[in-house]
Structure 1
């Protein structure tokens, strides 16, 4: 990896697929980058709806959903990794934990989330989390610079089920990941445009309009692009 590529940090940015990117998962996709470092990158595709609605997902995990604003929202296909697991992108929910309080651990999760699987998920989230002096109210959460969190523990679903929880929510099954230097290589190959993330595109724009809206952040329309155009 060159010094220039090592200095790139696309955390809290969008990756916008160029026309030449024909991979089934990523063609005409917008990816929200949750973390990017010298070790690689992790993100969620925000414009590829799956077959489930949020109401359908909550039914599958045996929880009611008392958030009328979320009932018909689609559950997205966030990427090809861990497609059986839910990833919840939402507004930051800070916990003002006193110094004497112990952090929530796997034993405090719902019974079907306990044991080795929960501990593994918690370790994954901790390893991926940006360093922060704040702590999320949820058990397994990546804190993202820019005011968002990505949670993998069931407690956020339980909060939503009773009509509480974060105001703005996106749920995906699966996530997208790049190894060390992989995303930088794809950028050099003109596979992606990049632009700072706009939360209105994530939470306030219909799924089918997110690609064009993300393009407009760069002053572009999709018809203007060819596979030969460089990245921004």
Structure 2
């Protein structure tokens, strides 16, 4: 019998290193309501730890239902992660026009002056096409994320800004896996629960 020189359960190419602007894509059997088949945008990664937001888990709430004085906003509220789930954060493509915004990718920014953003939305200068709201965030202590990557819980990759900001998130985990090549494409066929095979 010939031994194969690859394992479909482990990536064949070296992972990128985690850094702001890159994404974490969950391996197919990672469980839990927050991280099962999730894509997490890393917004901060340094000696203090890692911060990111789950991009593909929406709620049944809308930001204008929970944000005081926000007149109308068509986009859903997304689940950013399990940390501080009673706080709101946002990603946007409005650039440095929002005071205090931090650039994460060429066109995606994190945070900034919330009252300024709210005025932009209320005045029709920003919408769900340019802003994505999150309840909570994902956080890792120093070294914790690297340990999870070493255990093959996550694949570090990149994602274009359109997929980062889209509201149509139902199949984004599968799309992200397929973009990475054949081995990862096979992962999309694995059952959510490994007991179901």
Q: 2:118 is matched with which residue: 157, 166, 170?
A: 157
RMSD: 2.4
> Are 2:103 and 1:143 aligned?
yes
**What's the TM-score, normalizing by structure 2?**
0.76
CA distance in 1, matches of 2:47, 2:77: 30
Matches within 5 A, 1:136-215: 137-138=98-99, 140-151=100-111, 153-165=114-126, 168-204=130-166, 206-215=168-177
Q: 1:35 is matched with which residue: 44, 68, 93?
A: 44
Per the alignment, residue 8 of structure 1 pairs with 17
Where has structure 1 moved over 6 Å in runs of 4 or more?
A: none
Figure out how many residues of one structure are paired with residues of the other and give that number.
172
Structure number with the bigger relative contact order (C-alpha 8 A, sep ≥ 6) is 1
CA contact (8 A) 1:9 1:37 kept: no
The 1:212/1:205 distance shift into structure 2, 3 A limit, reads farther
Structure 1 residue 27: Cα displacement? 0.9
CA distances 1:26-74 after superposition (whole Å, capped 9, x unpaired)? 11111111111232111000111112123434xx412212xxxx51x21
Query: More helix per residue: 1 or 2?
Result: 1
Structure 1 residue 80: Cα displacement? 1.3
CA distance in 2, matches of 1:80, 1:205: 20
The 1:194/1:207 distance shift into structure 2, 3 A limit, reads same
Structure 1 residue 93: Cα displacement? 2.1
Structure 1 alignment gaps of length 5 or more: 1-6, 96-136, 228-232
Greater shift, 173-182 or 79-88, is seen at 79-88
Per the alignment, residue 92 of structure 2 pairs with 90
Structure 2 alignment gaps of length 5 or more: 1-15, 193-197
Corresponding residue SS for 1:49:
coil
CA distance in 2, matches of 1:176, 1:20: 19
**What's the TM-score, normalizing by structure 1?**
0.66
Structure 1 residue 79: Cα displacement? 0.7
Matches within 5 A, 1:106-145: 137-138=98-99, 140-145=100-105
